[in-house]
Amino acid sequence: MVEAKINVPVLNNGTSSSAFNREEYIRHLSKNLFEVLMLKREIPDDFLRKYHLSSKGIGDDLYFLTESYFRQKGLFKGKHSMSDYITPNAMKAIESGIVSKNLIYEHMVPKNLYIKQISEITLAGQLTEEFIYDLLIKYYFVCSVTKEEDEKLPSIKMADDWDGINPFYRYEKAGIEFLPNRKEVTSE
């Protein structure tokens, strides 16, 4: 008898009955980002193409694809509902309703470190969906933090002693505690 793999719906902080599965999420982002970048490679104007294939342009695409995924799954309850992790202080701010001015949607590994690689490989004509997937599964983690916590983090780089593997290193080194922001369902 063959067992079917089923994602069981769980509550996302009590607000949604849709399931979250990181593997499915990163596959979705990889596939769609690859398609977008292949289209953008064909922009005939050099200046416009370079902008759209810059770290800024790709970062914007990644954010909007993330939001699109969360909306399709019924998981979107504002920007901070999309973060993988949240600090206890950020959680308190959300519970008190003081969100927009005091919280940061912060990439745990500065996104410029991996988006720059995607940009360079795209411009060289060597981008694959699997290349995007490999980078995102390792490094694409977001944490909702307070402005005060964000100020403790180096903004655009990892420490020189980072091993290139641990995506939580900046937070651990800065002594910033964080918790999962949603329940993940895995296929078994």
**Other CB atoms within 10 Å distance of the CB of residue 28:** 17
Of all helices (H) and strands (E), which one includes residue 104? strand 103-107
**Tokens 């895995």 sit on residue:** 186
* Predicted pLDDT at 97: 79
* Predicted pLDDT at 100: 65
Mean pLDDT by 10 residues, the chain (188 residues): 33 46 96 97 94 93 96 88 94 81 90 93 95 97 95 87 94 95 66
* Predicted pLDDT at 11: 33
Tell me how far apart the alpha carbons of residues 41 and 120 are, in angstroms, rounded to a whole number.
12
Tell me how far apart the alpha carbons of residues 92 and 76 are, in angstroms, rounded to a whole number.
19
Q: Look at strands 85-86 and 142-146 and give their pairing.
A: parallel
Given a contact cutoff of 8 angstroms between Cβ atoms, the answer to whether 58 and 46 are in contact is no
* Predicted pLDDT at 5: 34
The type of residue at 77 is K
Tell me how far apart the alpha carbons of residues 27 and 74 are, in angstroms, rounded to a whole number.
18
